[in-house]
């Protein structure tokens, strides 16, 4: 399985035919890694069960973890799922963008995609390459394009590191804008239920839907988003999280300190073992660099890492959700 010649297709200009080859590969049942505005995805045509099965093999993904289906525009949502008019109107208003809706699936979406569930996650990415690819090939089933258990890739070099020789094609279109995975909202319940926080914040969702609930899986319960039970986003090295003021305890230790620019300037001036995640005042920059920093930690000379604890409002809530997964063991 690991001896496939992987075509690397660099797309800088959408006004040429560079999307044609990846599109043909998908239609022929091959796998294509492609950029979205959240993270890179590993795609197969959603209507080809055998192609979809290969995604699980290639990633080493547990078979009970469903995939998200990517389409290019909200007016195609009824080709893959059932949605009532009221929600469709909202979805049309707020997409394309970094959000996934869980809806009742249509018959043409095979259980290979949904891991046996009657529901399907549907996303309309804002990235022009993802849109073009789906417009050309059809609905694309895709998880993040990392090996299972590793942080999601936010650039093509990282996808190449994980998936070269395992898949037919990797599209390189630069860095992902958001750097963390889409917000997931389950719309099959009376009140919309947020299964995974993401770039669209809880505050924004409350404004959009009136009221939303936040789902927190209990230890003893089967989680609604099956992916949430796995240790995700995790570096191989030990990582702990501490208050910004405590980071100074790690100066000159064999530890990489991951923190905001502001924290470095307040507590860690002229310290070498620091990796700046981004700016506290522009928290989307922190989201954008988070997974890159976790992969960097593993490659660095440092024995372990320590990361700044952030507050839990707005996009920081989603950032903290990912950090907590990265520091959790098991």
User: Which one of residues 21, 65, 266, 300 is an interface residue with ligand TXA (CB under 6 A)?
Assistant: 65
CB of 234 to Mg ion, least distance (A): 12
User: Which one of residues 187, 225, 247, 286 is an interface residue with ligand TXA (CB under 6 A)?
Assistant: 225
- Assess 71 for contact with ligand TXA (CB under 6 A): no
CB of 225 to Mg ion, least distance (A): 11
Q: Where are the beta strands (DSSP E) in 98-223?
A: 99-105, 119-123, 140-142, 169-172, 183-186, 193-196, 213-214
> Which of 157, 167, 147, 172 shows the shortest CA–CA distance to 3?
167
Neighbouring CB atoms inside 10 A of 107's CB total: 5
- Assess 36 for contact with Mg ion (CB under 5 A): no
- Assess 134 for contact with ligand TXA (CB under 6 A): no
CB of 101 to ligand TXA, least distance (A): 10
Place of tokens 């790690």: 250
CB of 198 to Mg ion, least distance (A): 12
Work out whether the CA dihedral 229, 235, 237, 240 comes out positive or negative. Answer: negative
Of residues 163 and 276, the one with the C-beta less far from Mg ion? 163
DSSP 56: H
Q: Where are the beta strands (DSSP E) in the chain?
A: 7-10, 32-34, 41-45, 68-70, 81-82, 99-105, 119-123, 140-142, 169-172, 183-186, 193-196, 213-214, 239-242, 255-260, 274-278, 304-308
CB of 271 to Mg ion, least distance (A): 33
> Which of 38, 123, 41, 40 shows the shortest CA–CA distance to 80?
123
CB of 204 to ligand TXA, least distance (A): 16
Of residues 22 and 143, the one with the C-beta less far from ligand TXA? 143
Are 100 and 91 in contact by the 8 Å Cβ rule? The answer is no
- Assess 144 for contact with Mg ion (CB under 5 A): yes
- Assess 318 for contact with ligand TXA (CB under 6 A): no
Contact residues for Mg ion (CB under 5 A)? 143-144
Contact residues for ligand TXA (CB under 6 A)? 36, 38-39, 41, 65-68, 100, 102, 114, 117, 119-121, 123, 142-144, 181-182, 184, 195, 224-228
């Amino acid at each position: 399985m690991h001896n496939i010649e992987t075509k690397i297709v660099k797309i800088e200009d959408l006004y040429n035919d560079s999307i044609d080859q990846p599109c043909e590969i998908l239609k022929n049942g091959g796998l294509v890694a492609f950029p979205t505005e959240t993270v890179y995805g590993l795609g197969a045509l959603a209507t080809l069960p055998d192609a979809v099965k290969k995604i699980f093999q290639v990633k080493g993904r547990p078979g009970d973890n469903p995939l998200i289906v990517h389409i290019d525009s909200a007016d195609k949502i009824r080709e893959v799922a059932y949605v009532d008019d009221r929600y469709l109107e909202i979805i049309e208003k707020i997409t394309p963008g970094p959000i996934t809706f869980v809806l009742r699936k249509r018959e043409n979406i095979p259980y290979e995609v949904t891991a046996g569930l009657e529901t399907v996650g549907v996303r309309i990415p804002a990235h022009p390459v993802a849109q073009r690819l789906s417009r050309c090939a059809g609905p694309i089933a895709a998880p993040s394009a990392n090996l299972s258990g590793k942080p999601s890739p936010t650039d093509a070099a990282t996808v190449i590191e994980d998936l070269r020789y395992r898949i037919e094609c990797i599209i390189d279109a630069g860095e992902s804008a958001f750097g963390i995975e889409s917000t997931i909202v389950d719309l099959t319940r009376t009140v919309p239920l947020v299964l995974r926080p993401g770039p669209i914040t809880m505050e924004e969702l409350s404004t959009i839907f009136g009221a939303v609930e936040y789902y927190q899986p209990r230890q003893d319960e089967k989680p609604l988003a099956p992916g949430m039970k796995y240790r995700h986003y995790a570096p191989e090295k030990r990582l702990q999280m501490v208050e910004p003021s405590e980071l100074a305890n790690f100066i000159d230790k064999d530890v990489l300190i991951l923190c905001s620019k502001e924290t470095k300037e307040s507590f860690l001036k002229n310290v070498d073992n620091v990796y700046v995640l981004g700016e506290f005042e522009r928290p989307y920059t922190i989201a954008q660099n988070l997974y890159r920093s976790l992969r960097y930690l593993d490659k660095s000379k440092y024995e372990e890492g320590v990361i700044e604890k952030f507050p839990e409002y707005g996009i920081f809530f989603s950032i903290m959700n990912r950090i907590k997964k990265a520091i959790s063991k098991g």
